Amino acid sequence: MLEGVKHVVLVLSGKGGVGKSTVSTQLALTLKEAGFKVGLLDVDLCGPSIPYLLNLEGKDVHQSTKGWVPVYADEEQKLAVMSIGFLLKNRNDGVVWRGPKKTGMIKQFLTDVVWEDIDYLIIDTPPGTSDEHITVMENLRSVKCDGAVIVTTPQAVAVDDVLREVTFCRKTGIPIIGIVENMSGFVCPTCSECTNIFSSGGGQALAEMVKVPFLGRIPIDPAVGKLADKGQSILVTLPDSELARIFRRLIEQI
Ligand code: ADP
């Protein structure tokens, strides 16, 4: 149930693999570090990666008289996490469900989970715009959605996908908090020169074109990749990185 939730932020992307779950996780951790109680809901039913990113694989969701108790990522119980990943026996088990079953599960995530006293609920959505997104919006009901953060990589083709996300938000009345351009160049650790492996600036140009805030660029950073590979995101936020600066700016806007 969402009655105790003060803010809701959706994280969207046009494609998979652009860093949407990384951004969702780091945004949740940055908010937690800033002293807020945070919920992180993974509605990417076919590719749930949040339990892996937070080293929570194998944890169980418990049932209480009030509903499903989310998994807490920390001892102080400041970061509550819910994902289909906790309900699957095996990390690699695929979810082969038709629309209604997926819709039912997302509804349960929003209405049956005890999201108690949550300042910010961050919802990591599947790539694209699908039934899952519409179900989320329908089931937020009384809770105001503060808006969406759209994650893209700089290539033109990814940027085209973002245009679809922008259109979706506008049609469904979701305010767009801003666009983050991830994997934007690689900074050489030896000489500090930035090489734009893909083209660059696409996210910013699109943000200007569709008149939404551009939140910033995150370079390809081996440290970010390692956090995921070791499931260490929960232990190591990146306090001085561009990622952290982007999120501080983002928090000011929510
Ligand atoms: P998505 O949720 O869009 O599918 P993920 O957040 O799972 O994408 O990221 C895909 C992969 O890319 C992960 O292995 C992640 O660690 C890595 N990654 C994401 N952003 C960066 C970055 N800025 N630098 C290096 N690796 C990154």
C-alpha distances in Å from residue 116, one per residue of 28, 75, 88, 112, 182: 16, 16, 24, 11, 32
**1 belongs to a structural domain:** no
Q: Is 221 in the pocket of ligand 1 (CB under 6 A)?
A: yes
Q: What is the CATH number of the domain that holds 22?
A: 3.40.50.300
Cα of 156 to ligand 1 centre, how many Å?
18
Q: What is the pLDDT of residue 235?
A: 47
Encoded tokens for 37: 């109680």
Give the gyration radius of the chain's Cα atoms.
17
Pocket perturbation via mutation, ligand 1, pick of 22, 91, 226 by most ligand atoms within 8 A of CB: 22
Closest alpha carbon to 149 in 179, 183, 128, 120? 179
Which atom of ligand 1 is nearest to 124's Cα? 2
The ipTM of this complex is 0.98
Looking from the CA of residue 49, the nearest atom of ligand 1 is 7
* Residues paired with residue 194 on neighbouring β-strands, in sequence order: 187
CB 39 within 8 A of CB 151: no
* Ligand 1 pocket residue status of 20, Cβ below 6 Å: yes
Q: Residue 220 domain-assigned?
A: yes
Token pair of 31 as six digits? 């908010």
- Residue 67, domain member (yes or no): yes
Q: Is the CB of 183 under 6 A from ligand 1?
A: yes
Helix (H, G, I), strand (E, B) or coil at 149: strand
Residue 215 CB less than 6 A away from ligand 1: no
Residue 75 CA to ligand 1 centre (angstroms): 26
Range of the domain at 12: 7-253
- Rounded distance between C-alpha atoms, residue 15 and residue 126, angstroms: 9
Q: Is residue 47 assigned to a domain? A: yes
What is the full per-residue pLDDT of the chain (254 aa) written as tens digits?
888 899 999 999 998 989 999 999 988 988 898 899 999 999 988 888 899 889 898 898 989 999 999 999 999 999 999 999 998 877 666 677 777 888 999 999 999 999 989 999 999 999 998 888 999 998 887 788 999 999 998 876 677 788 899 999 999 999 999 999 988 888 777 877 778 877 777 788 889 989 999 988 888 887 777 777 666 555 455 555 666 677 777 778 77
Please choose, from the candidates 191, 194, 193, the residue with its C-alpha nearest in 3D space to the C-alpha of residue 219.
194
The pTM for the full model equals: 0.91
Q: How many domains does the chain have?
A: 1
* Residue 84: half-sphere exposure toward Cβ, Cα within 13 Å: 25
Residue 2 lies in a domain: no
For ligand 1, atom 16: residue with the closest CA: 225
224: in domain: yes
